[in-house]
Amino acid sequence: MMPFRSAFRSSLRHPAVAAAVLALPLALCGFAHAQNKYPDANPAVTPQTTHMQGTWWMARHEAILQSIHDHPDTQLLMIGDSITNNYDKAQPPDQNFQPTWQQFYAPRKALNLGFSGDTTANVLWRLDHGEVAGLHPKVAVLLIGTNNTGWAHQTAEETETGIDAVVNDLERRLPQTHILLLGILPSDVSSEKTAADQAVNRYLATCYGENARVTYLDIGSIFYRDGKLDTSMFYDPRLSHPRGALHPATDAQHKMAEAIEPTLAKLMGDEPRMPLADMKDINTALIPVDWLEQDSYDWYARHHAELALARATQPQLVLIGDSITHYWAGPPRATRVHGPGSWQHAFGQLSVINMGFGWDRTQNVLWRLRQGEFEGMHPKWVVINIGTNNLTGTVHCRTNTPQEVAGGVSAIIDEVHQRSPQSRILLMAIFPRGFTPDSPLRAPITATNRILAARYAHDPSVTWIDIGKQFLQPDGTLPHDIMPDGTHPSDKGYELWADALIKAGVHP
């Protein structure tokens, strides 16, 4: 069940509620922790100067105050610790971050408020002492918390409260500024820190998933390769006195900027500093984001309906996907229903939830899963049919490669397994698209399915189901009576899917 504070945050999409909440003296997320867990003793919310030796920290603070005086037209704030502070460095090969700063942030009249070693308590002190006074930026990017769970040895809940306090302070001081809150980046400093950071990020995802003033973005997936942290992306292991991976190196910091850029450009109201089609250093299919494409329904309303069902229902079967799933049938009811007869044939009196959303890509599904749509449910079967929209690009999102799409599908499977390890996953191959064999999407769909088949055809926890050939004529053409628009099945097309699920063991 979604925590009360998370449900309350979700209501902030409604202007009247948002206005009332933003008038409160303390953000609700922080209020919940501060009142219930750490009324007075949490070091993460007690403003303080640095623990580090030397005068550089205060000298940097004074320099920032002068920069604010000299640049009152600052439009972008980058607030954080050493990872943000590093943008000042130009030391090839591992710590040359100025080119990234000059490409993505300097043209937006950005100010670097990153201080090495800072915790949330240090940021609160700096805010108390004028570091945003008189400014009216469009966006403040906040990346903080890794030192709370690192050298400060604070708990996840203490760190969460500290981040809430910083967000609340920024909301109060900068009422016209949108906050882009980033999840704590992964590291290999210790298993204890990793566990705390993951807990913090789970909290931030649910707490700030829908907020009128705050956008939460978790870009941690860019640091993983084949499910493991790629420590070569960090410079700490290559220092003269090697340490655990914590600070992204030159190329990784550029990848971070790419991962942030689409969301940041949207919030800034300007054009991306790099064309979306060129951002191929990161797998966008793995970065959880909410609604990307306009469609014929209210995406958030459907999300809230799914949350309500998750709280009220223990389904026997859950379907996860895009419009192909969305328009089949079942609760919550779609504005279009293409296959009521085949739905009844497949599921009968089974308790089923349809978690299909029109135009969704894997990254949208990841966002929805982390926002509680599957929370507390333990269905016998989970049917996953996603990825076809990843293979099409728009002004909001670039086209993904088959390898990237397969990575996104795998991430969804992992998320479902984490929440309900006993559920049997039925993974559908992406259905064919286009009426003729040479239709542009046929080849990438085939390539994606080939990767997924190799990965899951012999996985005992996943049942791989490929019915693509059943939709097609012997010459490879796609009949109009099976898919009238070349993408979405008719009831006749859904009958083929229904029969395949029954054959795989689903039964009323």
Indicate which residues carry an active-site annotation: 323, 485, 488
CA dihedral of 179, 280, 230, 77, whole degrees rounded to 10: -20
Which one, of 80, 87, 86, 79, lies nearest residue 139 by Cα? 79
Tell me the C-alpha distance between 184 and 193, whole Å: 11
Side-chain-facing half-sphere of 391: CA atoms under 13 Å: 25
Compute the C-alpha angle 435/438/444, nearest 5°. Answer: 100
Residue with tokens 């108390």: 128
Helices (H) and strands (E) in the chain, counts: 19, 14
Burial of 467 (0-12, 13-18, 19+ CB in 10 A): middle
Task: Return the sign of the alpha-carbon dihedral for residues 441, 259, 136, 145.
Answer: positive
Strand pairing of 224-225 and 228-229? antiparallel
Which amino acid makes up residue 253?
A: Q
Q: How many residues in total does the chain contain?
A: 508
Q: Do the Cβ atoms of 356 and 323 come closer than 8 Å?
A: yes
Tell me the C-alpha distance between 324 and 12, whole Å: 30
Token pair of 29 as six digits: 């997320």
Which one, of 326, 409, 292, lies nearest residue 362 by Cα? 409
Backbone angles phi, psi at 460, to 5 degrees: -65, -20
CB neighbour list of residue 425: distance below 8 Å, 6 or more residues apart? 381, 382, 383, 384, 413, 416, 417, 461, 462, 463
- Measured CA distances, 216 to 158, 243, 277, 287, 481 (Å): 19, 29, 23, 11, 43
Burial 133-159 (b: 16+ CB within 10 A, else e): eebebbbbbbbbbbbbbbebebbbbbb
Which one, of 197, 211, 102, 213, lies nearest residue 148 by Cα? 197
Task: Return the sign of the alpha-carbon dihedral for residues 340, 346, 349, 351.
Answer: negative
Packing angle, helices 491-503 and 340-347, rounded to 10 = 10
Token pair of 133 as six digits: 């006074």
* DSSP collapsed to 3 states, 102-113: HHHCHHHCEEEE
